[in-house]
Every structure is written in structure tokens, then in C-alpha cells.
Structure 1
Amino acid sequence: MSIEYNVLNILKEHSSKEAAITLKVTDIVTYMHKDYDKSITDKQVRKALKDLTDSELNLPDEQKVIRYRTYDNERRKTDYYYNNIITDVEFKFLIDSVLYSNIFNNERAMDLAGRIQTLSGKNLKNITPYANVSFGQTRYAQNTDVMANCQLIIDAIKNDNYIEFDWNVYDVKNKNVYLHFQGRRTVIPIRLMLNNGRYFCLVRYRDSRKVYTYSVDLMTRLRVKEQRKSDGIGFDNLNIPLERAVYILNHPYMMGGELRSYIVRIDREYFSRLIDDFSYEINVLKETDTTVDIRVNASCKGMAYWLCHHYDIASIVDNKDKELNKELKKAAESILRQVQD
């Protein structure tokens, strides 16, 4: 390998912009002797650094891979470091997202986290020491290749194809969790969305405007079918927002259905909980010292699940939605049966 290539690897591994770790020529030579070639001289390293920095002279500073400090009216360069376009903290976020997601089994998560680590250097390894065999178990125990399913879905959306798959739900048999087959589905994929650590696919059936949500990790034997002929139903005919942020906010827990308007009263002390779930969709109607009334749009089932989850701090004002009342009554009766003697 060339000296330039080895110098670049040393800077990538041992320097850090965020941690303010820079390397002088003598430091680079020391690492060269340790990791590559004991015969390399200071002069050779200086020349390699000059060639590398000269090749980036016409690039904007933020795009330059190698950065440095200058002295003597910018005639002398020193204190070199690797200027990664993604910071180590951002890489850490990616690694944490992988390890704590619901779509990778332990082996796949560790493999991907390790590959992300190689994109930076020692500083990233220091702040993500758990991205190794000692991490433990992820929350996803199945062997479905969710990323492969996502790629097939992306291809099908791009090329106007149907997708066909076995739909499953989690079940238990002999004390082990497994995927219980529910039937074969052939659908038109519309959007792929990540929410709460899982990928969901919004789909519809041919000649139908109703949108359904399927968890990608529960799809097996997925394949792309033939290119579909138009049934005259476009995105504008679906009557639901397909932008990721808007859809997720309008459909708590990814519960599908038509959007309805609700007035929610929440204890002011716990207003943050509502912000977490509905974000910018909130329309504040009334404030008191102890409560806040807001208007949100949500699906009926999504709102029912949300109210059950936050029953101690939130309620619906002037609820005239019979379907929502039915869902809440069913939930309340179920809970009551569990606590009765």
C-alpha cells in the first residue's frame, strides 16, 4: 500500500476533530513504524501529507478530508487531523439506533455496528465500547432479514410492482416465541416508514382506497410480483397524509384508519408526554393553571391506544365519537375483569 494511504488510515484511526486530538509528523511516523513500515522517514511522511493536502486545495474546507493548523504566515503545516463528514457523536447515534432497534437479531446488529465503527477511529470506539460481543441481546429474536425485505419493498414502489408475502404475528409454542402464519398477502406498497425502532409498510389492495399498515419484520417469503396496471387510484385519492412525520403523528402506534378531530385535556404537569407523541400537530385551545386543552387529528384506534396508555393524565373533551367510546369501553371492561375478585 502507498504511504499516502497508510497516513490517511493513521489520521482516521488516531485523530479526532471533536475530541481535539491532532497528530504531528513525528506522531504519524511513530504509528507508521508500529503498524506498517519501520523504514519510513519524517521526510517521506511530510511529502505524503503535502500530496494529500495539495490534492484537496480547491475543495471547500468542510469537504476536505485532512485538516491542519498553520504557522509562519501559513507556510508551515502541523497538528493534522481527519475531518470526517459525520461526527463521532452522529456515528454513535447510528450505532445506538442499530443496537436498540427492533429489526436486527443480535448477530446482525453487532456486525452492522462494527462496520459503522470502522468508518471512524479510536475516539468512536472509546465512546461506543458496548458495540462488541459483550453488548448482550437485542430486542429482536427472529431471523427475518428486515433490510432485505426493505430493499424489495423499495424496488417495488419505484417500479410500480405488487409485493407478495406471508403475513405473521408473534405467538408462543412450547415456551418459545415464533412467527405464526396468518395468510399470504398480495398488496400495492405505498410507503416505507421507520417508527419506534421498527419498519412499517403502508399498503393498499387493488381497487381499494383504504390504507393498511404491515410490520416489515413480520413479513416472510416476500417477493416482488409483476408490474401492476393502474387502477386509477393515486396518492391524492387516499385521503391520508403520506409524509412520514405527519402520518406517524396522526396514527399513534401506527394504528391505521381515517383521521378524526379530537379535543384532548391533559394535565399541564405532563404536557411533555403529549408533545412527544403529537409534536407540531398540536393546536392549543385553552389553558388553565392545571390543564391544557388541545385539538389533534388521529385515527380512532390510535387515539384509543393513546388514551389507555395515558389514562391517568389525559381525557377526551366532548367526545361524540361512538367508535372511540366503544373501543374505550371494551378496554375498560377488560381491565375491570382483571382486577375484580
Structure 2
Amino acid sequence: MNTQPKKFLIFYILDILKRCTDEDHRLSQKQIGEILEREYEMKADRKSIRRNLLDLIDLGYDVGCSQSVRVKPDGEEEVLLTDWYLNQEFTNSELRILIDGLLFSKHIPYRQCRELVEKLEGLSSQHFRARVRHIAALPQNRPDNRQLFYTIDMLDEAMEKGRQVSFHYCHAGMDHQLRPQMNEQRNPKEYVVNPYQLVAANGRYYLIANTEPHFNVSHYRVDRISDICLLETPVKDPRQVQGLEQGLDLSQHMAEHPYLFAGESVRATFRAKKHLLNDLEDWFGPAANYFHETESALDVTVKVNQEAMFYWALQYAPFVEVLEPAALRQRVGRALREAAEKYETEVSHDIH
């Protein structure tokens, strides 16, 4: 055997430590030697293995081991180094959080999500991969916009250089495929956009921007953008955009736009059951002002996008009553009455 050059020994030992060890799974010099012979066709004695392990430490690799002291027959003490392992760059729990973040996302296509999960798995030892085999059950009911990462790169470059972008914006059809929105000539409509910020909300990436030739804030689902192009024209000064006159306060903007709809923000007041407090904190956080607390309810005032507040109030209708503004209260009431009427009507037996 021993067909591999000795100069490769340190690289093979490092590869073994990366693949096979962590703080909970260690290898002796004998075990490392057995793997070298079995998988790399290289024989090495324990002294050579120990020397290369110490060289890895000198080179800055975070290699750990157990130390013990043995007294020789002549009375001299000898330090024994055993149970070698590599401290992985990420702990298993950190990797699990990163992988779960991918699984919770709704915008990354299946194939790319699967590849990213596998890359993250590769940042730890084989023992971690064995613990997360259930991830193979990743559902394939994800969008198929394979331009997603290219789109993100282009948007990052555009924002860094302060330039506009153009793109097509897609909508899903009844066949579950994304198709660009059409203009009056039945050609894909081209959007020219001033990009300001990428944000993650509700499990998806959104672009906060302004669309030419308008002067209001727009929000675009990044996974629905296709055929993006970086333009030479500079972005519009955000201070010229309604709602961004003082710059983009991201935390405030997200609190005002829980669903990232475009349009005007209003000062809304609603009455909510107290058991919704956790939900209120999740949606609005410190932007919510609580008052008029009773044993079972409290009033809430928050500055919020009017369209978003309408749909949020419908979502929590059994536990929330919109008080102001009056127009929004009337709109929610009208929508709830129309919905109730639908459920009071018998369903047609022609449904298949």
C-alpha cells in the first residue's frame, strides 16, 4: 500500500478530523492511522500522526485533545495526548438554526434550498449529518424561480452603486407557474425601480423601492422578480419618495407595514382581547401603544399601512374591533358582513 506521498499526510489528517470528529466524537492516533490506511492507502506510525497533529495546532487550526501524565519507569513524567478532535467552526445547534431558517423560508426554490442545506451540513462532521436526516423530507412545493440568487446579487450591486434596475414582475397562474405581468400590448411589462433595501418578512424576501415615474414606496417579492437588469441611471434620492422624506427607518417601516403593502400609513386604534398580547408584540412590537386596559381587553394605537391593517383586522376578526379611523372601521365591518352572508348560504351540490 503506501501509494500516497508523505507530504499529503497533514492534509489527510485534517480531512479526517473535519469529517469524523467534533468535541463529542474523538479519535485516538491509532484510529486515525486505521482510517488513513483504509481510506487513503497511506501508512503512518503514531509518532508521525502526533507530529502532524501538533503541526496543525501550530498552523492555527483549533485542534483539541485530552492530556494526561504518565510516569516512566525511570521516574520521568511524560505528557500523553489522546482523543483528538477538531473544534468545528459552527456548533451543531448553530447549524441547526441556519438549516431551520432555510426550511422555514418560503421563497427559495427546492433545488437551491436542498443544495444550501447540504453545504451547511458539510460544515460539521458526519455525526451531525446523521442527526438531521429528516431534512431529506424537504417538501418540493416551493417556487421555481431559479433566478432568485442572481436577482439578489443584482439588487445588492445596484444598491451599493446607487443605480436603478429594470425587471419583469411575475404572478402565479392556475398551473402553479410564474409568468410576467403583461402591458396593454400583451408584452411583459417592464418595471424601472429605485431599490433602497432588501428585507425578510413573513418567510420571504422583499425589496423596498420606488417605481418610476411615481413618488410613493413600493414593495416587491424578490422571488417574483425575473429578467433583472442593472441600469446606468442613478437612483432617485429617497427623500423625494413619500414616506421616506426622513430616510428609511427600517424598524419603523416594518412595524407600519406588517404585510408590506404599498400605500398610506394611518394612525389606527383597535380594541383587542388580552390573550393577543404575544401576537401584538410579534406584529407591531414597541410601535404599539397600549391603553384602557380591562380584565379581558385593551385598546391599541399604532401607525400602520391602511391596507395592511384592513387584512390584519380580518385575520384576527373574532378578537379585534377596529375603532378608528372611521372609514377603515366601516370597510372592515362591510367585509365581515359580506363574508357572513356567504356562509349563511347553502353550498351548491354541483361542487366536485
Q: Same fold (TM over 0.5)?
A: yes
Count, aligned residues: 325
Q: CA separation in 1, counterparts of 2:267 and 2:306?
A: 9
- Alpha-carbon deviation of 1:142? 2.1
Contact 2:110 2:144 in 1 (8 A): no
Moved more, 260-269 or 218-227: 260-269
- 1:59 counterpart residue number: none
- 2:156 counterpart residue number: 154
1:96-245 pair list within 5 angstroms: 96-132=100-136, 135-172=137-174, 176-182=175-181, 183-206=189-212, 208-228=214-234, 233=239, 238-239=244-245, 242-245=248-251
Contact 1:70 1:78 in 2 (8 A): yes
Q: CA separation in 1, counterparts of 2:62 and 2:86?
A: 6
Contact 2:238 2:245 in 1 (8 A): no
Find the structure with the greater CA-based Rg.
2
Amino acid of the structure 2 residue aligned with 1:304? F
- Alpha-carbon deviation of 1:222? 1.1
1:27-42 pair list within 5 angstroms: 27-42=31-46
Change (3 A) 1:333 1:284: closer
- Alpha-carbon deviation of 1:185? 0.5
TM-score normalized by the length of structure 1:
0.84
Contact 2:103 2:138 in 1 (8 A): no
Contact 1:144 1:220 in 2 (8 A): no
Change (3 A) 1:185 1:69: same
- 1:68 counterpart residue number: 65
- 1:43 counterpart residue number: 47
- Alpha-carbon deviation of 1:236? 10
Q: CA separation in 1, counterparts of 2:143 and 2:150?
A: 17
Contact 1:265 1:292 in 2 (8 A): yes
- Alpha-carbon deviation of 1:252? 1.0
Contact 1:102 1:139 in 2 (8 A): no
Q: CA separation in 1, counterparts of 2:66 and 2:288?
A: 48
Q: Is 1:247 aligned to 2:247, yes or no?
A: no
Change (3 A) 1:23 1:225: same
Q: Is 1:10 aligned to 2:12, yes or no?
A: no
Contact 1:209 1:238 in 2 (8 A): no
Q: CA separation in 2, counterparts of 1:230 and 1:127?
A: 50
TM-score normalized by the length of structure 2:
0.82
Amino acid of the structure 2 residue aligned with 1:25? Q
Q: Gaps spanning 5+ residues in structure 2: where?
A: 1-6, 70-76, 182-188, 346-352
Deviations 1:21-62 (A, max 9, x none): 233322322322332234122112101111011222xxxxxx
Q: CA separation in 1, counterparts of 2:88 and 2:241?
A: 39
Change (3 A) 1:142 1:46: same
Same amino acid, percent of matched pairs = 21
Q: Gaps spanning 5+ residues in structure 1: where?
A: 57-63
- 1:60 counterpart residue number: none
- Alpha-carbon deviation of 1:76? 4.1
Structure 1 counterpart of 2:85, from 50, 73, 81: 81
- Alpha-carbon deviation of 1:150? 0.7
Deviations 1:278-330 (A, max 9, x none): 233333324332223333221111111111111122223x41252x2354245
SS at match of 2:134: coil
